[in-house]
Amino acid sequence: MGAVEKITVAVLVGSLRESSLNRRLARAVERLAPPGLHFEPVQIGGLPLYSQDFDVDYPAAGRQLKKQVEAADALLFVTPEYNRSIPGVLKNALDLASRPWGTNSWAGKPAAVVGASIGAPGAAMAQQHLRNVLAYLDVPTLAQPEVFLQFRDDGPIDADGGITNASTREFLQGFVDRYVEWVRRFVV
C-alpha cells in the first residue's frame, strides 16, 4: 500500500433495517477488500432532520457525523432504492455533513456507490440520484463498474456478507479492486 498503512473507509448504508440487503452487500465488499482498508460504519438512523436553524448552534449528532466523515480517507455508499430515489435518511446525512455553509465534510473524499434490490434494476435510479448529489458536494465518485445487484430468495449474499454465487463473487471482486485503485489515487 505504499506510504499509507491503513485507509479508513466510512460506509453509509441507506437502509436502517439490520437485515437489509444493502447491509449484506456492504459486508461482502468489506470481506473482499485487501488488508489495509478499514471499514467504519456510519450510523445515520438517529440523526436529527437537517434544519438551517442548526447552522447557528450545530447539534452534537451533526458534529459527530461531520467528525466521522472528516476522519475517513474514503467513502462507500450502499443504497437501496425507495420510490425511484435515495432513502430520506441518506439524503439527511448528506445534508447534515455538508453544512453549515462552507464546512462541507464530504468534499474531496473519493467514493463509490453500490446498491441492491429485489427488483431487476438493482437500485439504479437511486444510485443516479445519489451520484448527482455527490457531484454537487464535490465528492469524486468511481464511475465504473456500476453495481446494481439483484437479490433473490437464494442470495447471492448471505446475512454475514458471504457471497454464495461464484459469478457474483468475481464481479464484486472486480469492483473492489477498481475501488481500491480509485481510492489510492487520492490517498497519499
- CATH 2.30.30.40 given to domain 7-186: no
For residue 102, what is the DSSP state?
T
Question: What is the per-residue pLDDT for 147?
Answer: 94
124-131 average pLDDT score = 96
Helix axes 88-97, 124-136, angle to 10 degrees: 10
- Which of 2-6, 56-60, 136-140 has the lowest average pLDDT? 2-6
Cell of 151: 437479490
Q: What digits encode the pLDDT tens for the residues 67-114?
A: 999 999 999 999 999 999 999 999 999 999 999 999 999 999 999 999
pLDDT at 34 over 90: yes
Strand order in the sheet with 37-41: 37-41, 7-13, 74-78, 111-117, 147-150
pLDDT at 2 over 80: no
Domain ranges of the chain: 7-186
Compute the distance between CA of residue 4 and CA of residue 92 in angstroms, rounded to an integer. Answer: 32
Q: Please, are residues 16 and 89 in contact by the beta-carbon 8 Å criterion? A: yes
Q: What digits encode the pLDDT tens for the residues 102-116?
A: 999 999 999 999 999
Q: Please, are residues 39 and 30 in contact by the beta-carbon 8 Å criterion? A: yes
Q: What is the mean pLDDT of the chain?
A: 94
* CA dihedral sign of residues 80, 85, 88, 92: positive
Model confidence, pTM: 0.95
Question: What is the per-residue pLDDT for 1?
Answer: 42
CB atoms within 10 A of CB 52: 10
pLDDT at 4 over 70: no
Cα 140 to chain center, whole Å? 13
Question: What is the per-residue pLDDT for 54?
Answer: 96
Question: What is the per-residue pLDDT for 73?
Answer: 98
CB burial string 36-47: b at 16+ within 10 A, e below: ebebebbebeeb
